[in-house]
A and B are shown apart, each in its own frame.
Chain A
């Protein structure tokens, strides 16, 4: 317990130290605001501009979560399909990897072409960014189910659906939640990319306009908001993971001889 508190303290100190060092270096070398603003200045900007920034932050969060929700639904469906059928695996996997390796920035203009600038392309970008890790993890979880577990079920004349529902899916949950943590941050990246390229709302758009006005402290204030939202989303899914799939992280202190 003591060790845990010390670890937390160390990591908090490291974060604070990082900003202090930044502040000291900026002041010491007299770095211009246009190159790298001081943390204190960024925070002041953040507080002053908060009423204006707040709706954009909500917009970005909203876009990310909607895209992420679509990503989960489609990702799980694809993952179950690919993970439970050898044929689907062989057929779909190369195509999936092909899609995954395309830089998503390159897809945004196509979405804009189809749906116009605004929220829709951002949602779609967030969605396609988050699909891939979910598909791969769900498919891996299903495909690596122990054959003996399946034998037990098949000897009971369990249907394919029975096996999927009682063994495959629960077993895949740790993989699924691990992928959610990654996917939600990726969805966030997707939203901001799309907002910077083609939108009139959201933090990505704010940062784009601020940088073209050389309002660098505002750019960094946007960055800070993004970092905060990203960490918060990660923390939420990390917490859910621990709650729902705690069984996968065995507590050795409970084990008996």
Chain B
């Protein structure tokens, strides 16, 4: 399903918190030009939780980078908080598959990094780093189950612990927009399910607008309000469906017939949209 988009737009603004309006993105030039993202329209309400699923190379991460302003669209408009991306200072949090902690800082200092950079916290960082900000970091660490690990260094933590810390870093500055690029992708099944529950709790408490990129359909179904299915070459959104289950969701719920048939439908869509196998 493609959302119809209004062509005549007098002033450049959007009524949605995030909107991609006729966006395309090409990499490279001339003959070697690659269409990373075909014509894409996407609208996200404030406080929504949207998952992007699809085969690898379908431009899921590209959409995240467009919305955070790390990439600039080749054509079309990207709006965040009603204005073109970058025009308005929106607090953004990001977490990747690789936790990317700074090895020379303790876990707590790593988590407090956004407070050191982002206004309005930046100005108060010197005064509050040992008091209010420190308490806030500790509170978040407790929430993700890392209560006594603030003074450790990243190399002393396991992969799952680092990913929890990475979530804390993405959330500490109370972002309006949270970008999750396969943050649970490298974890084992049990850690992953535990982190889904934590993520859901945090989202219900703080209500940032979330864009989650994932390969895991169960993860998308558990966490998201809406699931957008993408196909590759060129990357396009081919399906956009609401997830009807009530919150808080549980792992048990993912074994109910309704949930299973939903993930089955998504899976079929992705398989059907997979590009024909290239001649081997």
Task: Say yes or no: A166-B98 contact (C-beta < 8 A), given A155-B92, A155-B179.
Answer: no
Contacts of A151 in B (CB 8 A): 65, 70, 94, 96
Q: Is there a chain A Cβ closer than 8 Å to B68's Cβ?
A: yes
Interface size on B, residues (CB 8 A): 28
Contact stretch, chosen from B26-34, B50-58, B110-118: B110-118
Interface size class of A (residues with CB under 8 A): 20 to 34
How far is B65's CA from A148's CA once the two chains are assembled, in angstroms?
A: 12
Interchain CB contact under 8 A, A152 and B94: yes
Residue numbers in A under 8 Å from B113 (CB-CB): 166
Residues on the A chain within 8 Å of B92, using CB: 155-157
Per-position binary interface string of chain B over residues 199-238, scored 1 when its CB falls under 8 Å from any chain A CB and 0 otherwise: 0000000000000000000000000000000000000000
A163-187, CB < 8 A from B:
166-167, 170-171, 173
Cβ contacts under 8 Å, A256 to chain B: 156-158, 161
* B104 touching A170, Cβ below 8 Å: yes
Contact A173 B117, CB 8 Å, known A148-B96, A148-B98, A256-B157: no
Residue in B closest to A252 when the chains form the complex, CB atoms: B155
A146 close to B100 (CB less than 8 A): yes
Complex contacts, B69 vs chain A, CB 8 Å: 155
Q: For B104, what are the chain A residues with a Cβ–Cβ distance below 8 Å?
A: 170-171, 173, 245, 247-248
Task: Tell whether B251 is near chain A: CB-to-CB under 8 Å.
Answer: no
Contact B155 A250 (CB under 8 A): yes
A248, B94: Cβ atoms closer than 8 Å: no
Q: How far is the CA of A167 from the CA of B153 in the complex (A)?
A: 16
| CB proximity of B156 to chain A, nearest CB, Å | 5
Indicate whether B89 reaches chain A with its CB closer than 8 angstroms. yes
B102, A167: Cβ atoms closer than 8 Å: yes
B103 at the binding interface (Cβ < 8 Å): yes
Tell me the complex Cα distance, A193–B201, Å: 68
CB–CB B70/A154 < 8 A: yes
Residue A51, interface by CB 8 Å: no
Partner of B156 from A146, A173, A254 at Cβ < 8 Å: A254
Q: How far is the CA of A146 from the CA of B153 in the complex (A)?
A: 19
Q: How far is the CA of A245 from the CA of B157 in the complex (A)?
A: 19
Top 7 closest pairs, chain A to chain B, by CB: A247-B104, A155-B68, A156-B117, A250-B155, A155-B94, A158-B117, A148-B100
Supply 18 A–B pairs (Cβ within 8 Å), ascending by A.
A146-B100, A148-B100, A151-B96, A152-B94, A152-B100, A153-B117, A156-B118, A156-B173, A157-B117, A166-B113, A170-B104, A173-B104, A247-B103, A247-B104, A247-B155, A254-B155, A256-B158, A257-B158
